[in-house]
Structure formats: C-alpha cells, structure tokens
Structure 1
Amino acid sequence: MKFSELSAEGWAELQPYLDTAVLPVTGLTGEEMPYEATAKLERLRDVLDLIEIPFKGRIVTYPACQYGEWTPAFREQLDRICGNFRQAGFKHVVVVTAVHIPDAAMAEESGADLIISPGENGQLPAASSVSESVRKLWLGRA
C-alpha cells in the first residue's frame, strides 16, 4: 500500500498486518538532464513494482528520497530513517533503489534489512529473486 492510502482509522486496523516499510531511493544527483531524471524515476518505478505488486497487503511504501548518492553521510541519513520506521512499529525496512549498489557493506550501512536494486548493467532483478529475498526476510533467514 502507498502511505497516502492509509487514514488514522485504517492504520490502527491494518498495522498488525503491514509490518514492512519500503523506502524508495531514486539516487538523483542534480547533474541529470531532464530525460535522465525521467529514466531514473521510471527505473525506480519498475524496481518498486517487483515488491509492491506481489506484497501489497503486507508493505507500506513511503515517499521517495529523490536526491542522494551512496556517500557515508547519505547512508547515515538512511540509517536514521530506517530506525525511525522501526520506532513507528515496522518490523522490517526495505530500501528500493533505482541505482546499482556496488558494495554489500555500503548497503548494510543504510540500516535497511534488505536492499533491492538493479544490477551493475542496470538490469532489473528477477521477480523471483526479489520474492525469495522478501520471503527470507520475513522468515528471519535474510
């Protein structure tokens, strides 16, 4: 579900079932031409579809962090956001990004339980791989 689909009353009723927050990260730097920004947003949409569509009844997708490169300061910011989601009651936090994350250690420093991103060549991850990763996370095997 999108964050905007939940009212205060609806959240109280659905919170026990919606245990996973999804944080989209576009990865814009401000150096993109308009058509390049459009391409990154479209790629993010495509990656998000891999988790939003099959897991709609269990996740809440928050607004995207549009600008930010995977610098230590940005990973620190993501870590704080992920911590805030947990304080709000989410058991799991998944970061979905439009850009390839080259180093697993960098991904771990974000505070997310799982990061879903395109491959080095920009290719989307396989839907079955995303599904398996999410299910492993929920089973405590991530």
Structure 2
Amino acid sequence: MKFSELSADGWAELAPYLDTAVLPVSGLQGTEMPHEATAVLERLRDVLDLIEIPFKGRIVTYPACQYGTWTPELSSQLQSLSSNLRQVGFKYVVIVMAFGAPSEAKVETGADLIISLSEQGELPSGTDVNDAVRQLWLGRA
C-alpha cells in the first residue's frame, strides 16, 4: 500500500498486518536533464514493483528520498529514517534504491533489507526479491 491510501482509522485497523515499511531512494543529484531524471524514476518504479505488487497488504511504501548519492550524509539520513519508521510501529524496514547499493548499505542504514540495482545497473530478479523478503519475515535474513 502507498502511505497516502491509509487514513487514521484505516491505519489503526490495518497496523497489525502492515509490519513492513518500504523507503524508496532515487539517488537524483540535481544535475540530470529532465529525460535523465525520468529514467532514474522509472528505474525506481521498476524496482519498487518487485516488492509492491507481490506483497501488497503487508507493506507500506513511504515517499521517496529523491536527492543524494551514496555518502555518509545519505547513510546517516537513511539510518535516522529507518529508526523513525520502527518507532512508529514497523517491525521491518526495506530500502529500495534506483542505483547499486554498496555492500555496507544494510549495516550503515539500519535497514533489514536493501533492494537495489546490480553494479551493472540491472534490476534484481523478482524471484530473488521475493525470496529475500520472505526470508526476512521468517527471521532468516
């Protein structure tokens, strides 16, 4: 579900079932031409589809962090956001990136799972994402 689909009453009723927050990160830098920004956002959409479609009803997708490349500042911001999402009641935090995540991203952000493009810019497979999310929920991630 998208965050905007939940009213206060709806959240109170569904919160026990919606235990996973998804935080998209586009990685825009502000230097992109409009068509390049569009391409980045389309990649983010494609990665998000791998988790949003099969797991609708258990996840809530939050607004995207749009600007920032992988820096200590972005890592710190994502760590703070992960912590905040847990404080409002989410058991799991999944960060979805429109770029390749560094190997240390999971530890540095405090996320339970990072879903991102490969180093070659390719989408992860739907099967891999599905397996990773299920392993997370089974406590094996």
Name the TM-score class by shorter chain.
over 0.9
Counterpart code for 1:129? D
Structure 1 residue identity aligned to 2:34: P
What's the counterpart of residue 27 of structure 1?
27
Q: 1:47-126 counterparts in 2 under 5 A?
A: 47-101=47-101, 103-126=102-125
CA distance in 2, matches of 1:56, 1:30: 31
1:106 Cα deviation after fit: 3.2
- In structure 1, what is the Cα distance between the partners aligned to 2:43 and 2:3? 20
Does the CA contact (< 8 Å) of 2:97 and 2:117 recur in 1? yes
SS in 2 for 1:99: strand
The alpha carbon displacement at 1:107 in A equals 3.5
The TM-score normalised by the length of structure 1 is 0.97
Residues 13-64 of structure 1 show CA distances to partners (whole Å, capped at 9, x for unaligned) of 0000000000000000111111110000000000000000000010000000
The residue type equivalent to 2:54 in the other structure is P
State the shift of 1:4 in Å. 0.3
Supply the RMSD in Å over aligned alpha carbons: 0.7
Query: Aligned with 1:117: secondary structure?
Result: strand
Determine helix, strand or coil for the equivalent of 1:21.
strand
In structure 1, how many angstroms separate the alpha carbons of the residues matched to 2:66 and 2:134?
Answer: 27
Q: Which runs of 5+ in 2 are unaligned?
A: none
Return the offset for 1:135.
0.4
Moved runs in structure 1, 4+ residues, more than 2 A? none
- TM-score, with length taken from structure 2: 0.98
Gaps spanning 5+ residues in structure 1: where?
A: none
Once residues 40 and 63 of structure 2 are traced to their aligned partners in structure 1, the CA distance between those partners, rounded to angstroms, is 15
The 2-side partners of 1:137 and 1:70 are apart by 24
- Cα distance in 1, alignment partners of residues 18 and 47 from structure 2: 20
Q: CA deviation at 1:110?
A: 1.1
Structure 2 match to 1:135: 134
Deviation at 1:7, TM superposition (A): 0.3
